[in-house]
Structure 1
Amino acid sequence: MCGCGEGGEAAGYGPKTRFEDGLARTVDWYLSNRRWVEGVITGEYLEYCRRVYG
């Protein structure tokens, strides 16, 4: 299993955002973009992807 433990820290990698803060920001984004979420739920977004990407 791979994680962000000692190897990541030794290479200079690490989280820029605390998990709790990132989760709160993610929830806020979804709440602020309800139209996009609704499009995903109804299949409108899937149809868009099919049209654009074939």
Structure 2
Amino acid sequence: MNGYLALSYLDVALAALFVLLTAALSWAARLGLERRLLLVSLRMVLQLALVGLVLKALFSL
């Protein structure tokens, strides 16, 4: 695969919307998963951002 996949702000917003929709469905069904869902989603975003920064620094050497 050549190149990379560029995500727009709309793509990221749609992904966040799906996470929020899933949390809302969990809340409506009284599953009790909404807090965990939101926390792991936030953790995923932070981890991917940190990996991106590390890779950017690594490849700029």
TM range (shorter): 0.3 to 0.5
Question: If the length of structure 2 is used for normalisation, what is the TM-score?
Answer: 0.34
For the pair shown, the structure with the greater C-alpha radius of gyration is 1
Q: Which of structures 1 and 2 has the larger relative contact order (alpha carbons within 8 angstroms, sep 6+)?
A: 2
Higher relative helix content: 2
